[in-house]
Structure 1
Amino acid sequence: MNQMLLSRRTALIGLSAVTAVPAFAQTRFEAARAYSTARRGISFLVMQRGQVLFEDYQGQGKRFKGWELASGTKSFSGVMAAALVQDGLLKLDEYCADTLREFWSDRYRSAIRVTDLLHLVSGIDGKGGRNFGNVPTYAEAVTATSNKGTGTQFSYGPVPFQIFGELVRRKLIAAKTGDADPLAYLTRRLLDPLGIRPIRWQRGSDGMPHLPSGAAITARDWAKFGQFVLAGGVHQGKALVDPVALRANFEASKANPGYGLTWWMPRPGMIGPGPRSGVASEAVSLSGLGKLYMAAGAGNQRLYLLPDQDMVIVRQADGILEGLRRGAGDWSDQTFLSLLLGA
């Protein structure tokens, strides 16, 4: 055992699923854990090839306690789109106006395709200008106007995701799938088969689930989702989503080379969610770590996917409201991942 050590924390809580790791990797994981904990980290998990290598909880963090993902919720929409494609309910290149009929009368909105909407390059202001609150209802979102051509400008915010929610809702009703709303569909098609149980998922005043934010799940469940994506959407030998549509989740638009369909892909030229988020400031350095896909939320909630290493990393933290107010603060994705990977 002197060459192969179990994670200190996971050994204490007796998780039989935790795999032994070499001492040098244990040292790196401990360094990353210490960095995260010193910056309000409460949950930290490393999974490779579907096996948990390291798991740690501090403060309010608990193995069975879900935590708010904030904007980390957004990436569920891109994968849900791939499930809809497999079910024949959606095409990524179809016009949104085919379902959202009110878009046809608008010069700009009539040209928006689903891929434009989820790439956040539809021409619609992601934040809705001053017309809405933080997260609009589905009905409010579809009234958002546009005065720009599709693909010309990246605009981050909740509005496109709520529009997507309404588009999905109408498709489910028309197809008579039996699902009441997008979350019911996501749960039936993906979350239940993967054994993911959200602790909660916020809904708006219209009763519809918030797709840009609102999910709260455990670190292990977030890691399961990430591993499923890394596995190409295959679970127990069965493809649960369309593989081409899933790969499209990681294809960038011309307007933002660092954003796919609801996933961040740090690389030079990436446009982040905002000047205080810290997500884009290290894009060049992060690109040196190899392929990296990321779901990111306020308070520095993170789900990292590293395809070259077949590794999933979850980091959850306290202080989401503080994160919204202060921005990235003292958190650095590059420092954290460099410590973990020994880069």
Structure 2
Amino acid sequence: MRSRVPSLILTLALLPALFGCSSQSAAPPAPEPLDAAALKAVVEKPGIDRERLARAVDTLFTAPETADTRAVVVLRDGRIVAERYAAPYHENTRFISWSMAKTVTAVMIGMLVSDGRLRLDESAPVPAWQRPGDPRGEITLRQLLQMRSGLRHVEAEGPPYLTDTARMLFLDGRDNVAAYAEAQPLEAEPGAKWEYSSATTVILSDLAARSLTTSTDPAERRRVVQDYLHTRIFEPLGMKSMIPEFDAAGTLIGGSLIHGTARDWARFGEFLRNRGAVNGAQLVPTTWIDFMTAPSPRNPGYGAQTWLNRPQVDDGHVEWPGAPASTFSMNGHLGQFVVVSPSQGVTVVRLGKTDEGQHAPVRAAIARIIQLFPKEPPK
């Protein structure tokens, strides 16, 4: 027994050193090698670490929680630095906007206000609201744009077939979506309550048509709005793929149904980043883009048909965690996003199919892409 005591003491004395050597030698595992498609998606000189950007984009295509990403385009100062598609999608595929269309509609309304055809703080000229004593006659264009009209609406709660959005677009309201939206009663005083509503944007689309023609002929209503969108927005921005949808009454389905390629959605994001200008031409006043990206009085996380990176009124979450507070976005059903960070000169487009309630990992992955880029110095 006596002969074993010194060896036991020596072993105990050496334990800290042994554990220290073990912890020092346990280096973090090397990252998995990038496959060729991931690296090829990023230009050779993106202005930041190429591999880090490639990995951040790859996460959107390969991680289970962000799966079914179909297209990603990343721009820095107007230049595409990363672009990737999941088969069978490609650069000429038109993707549905879903609610990203709302931001396009808001820009169109801004142009009509600038043209003097609509007024921001006057009663919205909806004929059904102009009867004496109708309290809806107090609703202004500003309140519609900021989702605080006070009109009753159920966007997406409960069974889909019972929501106003589904009924308006696909069931009893589908032939005249504006009539369905404008027939809803007030549930709150105009301006007092924020409530996200696709029906609100349909009303804006109807007002656009009414401001451009007095005709009730569906073909004429469709023609004037389509011409306006193409000549004032799509063609100047080079958005050649865009296809807007209209209902049977000739009303633009401006809250949900505009189709375009990922590159064209990126062009629109860049237009917003440049505060309504393209190639030196100011298409809509800078003050209108400022209005769209300023917090609504009833929800700091929402502007005018545009989402902001500030705490949401419902639960306090931010859309793009870790991205600058000035970041704003166009958000669509099933995870369609155009995200703009003006302070970094960055626009990110992500298009795909992610179920509602599961967007947080996708938003976090997009935010990590944005965080890779340094903030531009003040000009």
Please, what TM-score do these two structures have when normalized by structure 1? 0.82
Q: Confirm whether residue 83 of structure 1 aligns to residue 108 of structure 2.
A: no
Distance 1:281 1:257, change over 3 A: closer
Q: Confirm whether residue 231 of structure 1 aligns to residue 264 of structure 2.
A: no
Tell me the residue number matched to 2:357: 327
Equivalent residues in 2 for 1:124-273 (5 A)? 124-127=151-154, 133-135=167-169, 136=173, 137-174=177-214, 180-271=223-314
Shift of 1:232: 1.3
Tell me the residue number matched to 1:114: 141
Q: Confirm whether residue 313 of structure 1 aligns to residue 348 of structure 2.
A: yes
Which AA in structure 2 matches 1:187? H
Distance 1:237 1:340, change over 3 A: closer
Q: Confirm whether residue 27 of structure 1 aligns to residue 51 of structure 2.
A: yes
Aligned structure 1 segments of 4 or more residues deviating by more than 4 angstroms: 8-13, 128-132
- Name the CA distance, whole Å, in 2 between partners of 1:123 and 1:109: 9
Contact 1:127 1:158 in 2 (8 A): no
Which AA in structure 2 matches 1:37? F
TM-superposition CA deviations, 1:97-117 (whole Å, max 9, x none): xx2232123543111110100
Where structure 2 has 5 or more consecutive residues not aligned to the other structure, the ranges are 1-35, 156-161, 374-379
Which AA in structure 2 matches 1:337? A
- Name the CA distance, whole Å, in 1 between partners of 2:60 and 2:345: 22
Contact 1:35 1:336 in 2 (8 A): no
Distance 1:63 1:235, change over 3 A: same
Distance 1:164 1:255, change over 3 A: same
**What do you get for the CA RMSD once the two structures are aligned?**
2.9
TM-superposition CA deviations, 1:206-249 (whole Å, max 9, x none): 23321111112111100111111111111221111122222110
Shift of 1:338: 1.8
Contact 1:202 1:210 in 2 (8 A): yes
Give SS of 1:283's match. Answer: coil
Which AA in structure 2 matches 1:316? L
Distance 1:19 1:263, change over 3 A: farther
- Name the CA distance, whole Å, in 1 between partners of 2:224 and 2:152: 24
1:300 to 335, 338, 351: 335
Distance 1:93 1:121, change over 3 A: same
Where structure 1 has 5 or more consecutive residues not aligned to the other structure, the ranges are 1-7, 272-279
Distance 1:174 1:305, change over 3 A: same
Which AA in structure 2 matches 1:20? K
Q: Confirm whether residue 103 of structure 1 aligns to residue 118 of structure 2.
A: no
Q: Confirm whether residue 43 of structure 1 aligns to residue 43 of structure 2.
A: no
Q: Report which of the two has the higher share of helix.
A: 2
Contact 1:304 1:312 in 2 (8 A): yes
Tell me the residue number matched to 2:98: 70
Contact 1:300 1:331 in 2 (8 A): no
Distance 1:19 1:126, change over 3 A: farther
Give SS of 1:84's match. Answer: helix
Contact 1:138 1:163 in 2 (8 A): yes
Give SS of 2:321's match. Answer: helix
- Name the CA distance, whole Å, in 2 between partners of 1:85 and 1:317: 34
Distance 1:102 1:22, change over 3 A: closer
Q: Calculate percent identity across the aligned residue pairs.
A: 22
Give SS of 1:53's match. Answer: strand
Distance 1:284 1:201, change over 3 A: closer
Distance 1:113 1:330, change over 3 A: closer
Give SS of 1:216's match. Answer: strand
Tell me the residue number matched to 2:13: none
Tell me the residue number matched to 1:338: 368
Which AA in structure 1 matches 2:309? P
Give SS of 1:304's match. Answer: strand
Give SS of 1:295's match. Answer: strand
Which AA in structure 1 matches 2:280? G
Distance 1:60 1:74, change over 3 A: farther
Shift of 1:178: 9.4
Contact 1:29 1:340 in 2 (8 A): no
- Name the CA distance, whole Å, in 2 between partners of 1:62 and 1:249: 31
Shift of 1:252: 1.9
Distance 1:285 1:255, change over 3 A: same
Distance 1:285 1:41, change over 3 A: closer
Tell me the number of residue pairs that the alignment of Structure 1 and Structure 2 aligns: 317
Shift of 1:22: 4.2
Give SS of 2:343's match. Answer: helix
- Name the CA distance, whole Å, in 2 between partners of 1:37 and 1:29: 13
